[in-house]
Amino acid sequence: MPNGGSDCCGTCWFNTANEGDPDYRKGPPPDEVRCTIRSLEIETPFWTYCANHPHHNPARVEVPIGPVYVTDGYPYTRRVLEQSPDTEEIRAGLLDLLGHMEEVPNAEYPTPTELDEEVIKQLMEFREKRAAPTLRTIIHFDPLAAPDGDNPFGQNRVTTVALAVEALVCIEGDSALDEVETALRCGLSRDAVTPDVSGGILSRIRQWWLRKQANPDDQAEDPMAAIRYHAVLGLKHCGSDRARILLREATNDPHPEVAMLARRVLTTKEADT
């Protein structure tokens, strides 16, 4: 199996060569391999991926979930090969999946192409306004919620919450700045003196963070940085003075990548005015 991940078309039940089985075909491959749900010819099945693969989608949802990705070089990163089509049926399917997301994640095969995250990213790409109320719910998930039972891959909801923040701001712009402001404080010790306007999430994060920050200089101990990072990404879509103030504050973020991103976004905004 190639090292790009076993969640590839080669092992997908939507690959015509596999005739509906979640395994790869033994014997010579057919002349043409196609994805049955995307009307797409797959040239390199063992290096091509999407979130509809059975590793991510055991319910066998047939609505295309996000783009198709390919890995075509080392290191084994995934780049978009084919964007998702955009139809009302697909949007409705993604909204349905979004509405069924639960705070406790599944113990899913860990790759850059996980189902819930691809749903949120695609709705963000579509600027789908109907997603906003559910994104607000997801923002209040406990980022550290873990799958029941064994959690061999150490999964939690940090990335899901981070993407939900970015998607909400991308869709609503300055109307989502309250949520951005809350997200920009996730995991920071100054939360301890800042009013919690988050409906409780900050209190939960704060409790955890204050336990963990015995070594505040250890960046590896800053899991909430991903939420702050995506909140800064979301600020690209805001044009108000308040957004600029938040960006300036974020340039002082203790995580160097968050601070650097905030400086880049701020510089771009100032060059545009």
Binding of residue 145 to ligand SF4 (CB under 6 A): no
Q: How far is the CB of 72 from ligand SF4 (least distance, A)?
A: 15
Q: How many residues belong to the site for ligand SF4 (CB under 6 A)?
A: 14
Q: What are phi and psi of 190, to 5 degrees?
A: -70, -10
Span near ligand SF4 by CB under 6 A; candidates 50-58, 84-92, 118-126, 210-218 = 50-58
Q: In the set 4, 5, 9, 163, which binds ligand SF4 (CB under 6 A)?
A: 9
Smaller CB distance to ligand SF4: residue 34 or 269?
Answer: 34
Q: In the set 4, 5, 17, 35, which binds ligand SF4 (CB under 6 A)?
A: 35
Structure tokens at 132: 């906003």
Smaller CB distance to ligand SF4: residue 54 or 254?
Answer: 54
Kindly report the number of other CB atoms within 10 A of residue 196's CB atom.
15
- Residue 79, H or E segment: strand 79-82
- Which residues, including other chains, have CB under 8 Å from residue 108's CB and lie 6 or more apart? 55, 56, 114, 115, 153, 155
Kindly report the number of other CB atoms within 10 A of residue 232's CB atom.
29
- Which residues, including other chains, have CB under 8 Å from residue 93's CB and lie 6 or more apart? 61, 63, 65
- Which residues, including other chains, have CB under 8 Å from residue 235's CB and lie 6 or more apart? 169, 180, 243, 246, 247, 250, 262, 265
Q: In the set 6, 22, 37, 259, which binds ligand SF4 (CB under 6 A)?
A: 37
Binding of residue 259 to ligand SF4 (CB under 6 A): no
d(CA 119, CA 70): 18
Binding of residue 159 to ligand SF4 (CB under 6 A): no
Assign 77 to helix, strand or coil.
coil
Q: In the set 4, 5, 38, 168, which binds ligand SF4 (CB under 6 A)?
A: 38
d(CA 35, CA 123): 22
Q: How far is the CB of 52 from ligand SF4 (least distance, A)?
A: 4
Q: How far is the CB of 57 from ligand SF4 (least distance, A)?
A: 8
Q: How far is the CB of 67 from ligand SF4 (least distance, A)?
A: 9
- The residue type of 64 is P
- Residue 40, H or E segment: strand 40-41
Binding of residue 52 to ligand SF4 (CB under 6 A): yes
Span near ligand SF4 by CB under 6 A; candidates 31-39, 122-130, 131-139, 244-252 = 31-39
Assign 182 to helix, strand or coil.
helix
Contact flags string 62-101 toward ligand SF4, x per CB under 6 A = ------x---------------------------------
Cis amide leading into 75 (omega within 30): yes
Q: How far is the CB of 68 from ligand SF4 (least distance, A)?
A: 5
d(CA 224, CA 253): 12
Binding of residue 24 to ligand SF4 (CB under 6 A): no
Summarize as ranges the residues that interact with ligand SF4 (CB under 6 A): 9, 12, 14-15, 35, 37-38, 42, 48-50, 52-53, 68
